[in-house]
Amino acid sequence: MAYDEVLADRVRRHLERADLDAVEKKMFGAVCFLDRGNTVAGVFGDDLLVRVDPDDMDDALAQPGARPFEFRGRTSNGWVHVAGEVLDDEVLDEWLKAAWDATAGLPPK
């Protein structure tokens, strides 16, 4: 599956503006952005995949365009897909900030 290069560039620009030290890695037909070895966000197809605090899943899923991340028939707690069409600059920034905050407390890998 190819990923949306325009959305990936928007994520890159957000990370640069926020002066966040992310590592970019292509995997699973997507591009992912990692902090200290932990995946923070990724662009899968036309969607953004973001890490969220598992305690905040209900609130995250109540947002427009959000749906649970499912892999091999299982829902992954702490991960949300966000439809690309809802990601104006402000919404994208909010999701990426939440994802970065959710990852900040994780130990390095």
Nearest to 4 by CA among 94, 104, 92: 92
Please, what are the domains in the chain? 5-104 (3.90.1150.30)
Nearest to 42 by CA among 69, 11, 65: 11
Q: Is the pTM of this model over 0.85?
A: yes
**How much is the pLDDT for 95?**
97
> pLDDT digits over 4-52, tens only?
999 999 999 998 888 777 899 998 889 999 999 999 999 999 999 999 9
Please report which residue ranges of 1-109 form alpha helices under DSSP H: 5-17, 57-61, 89-104
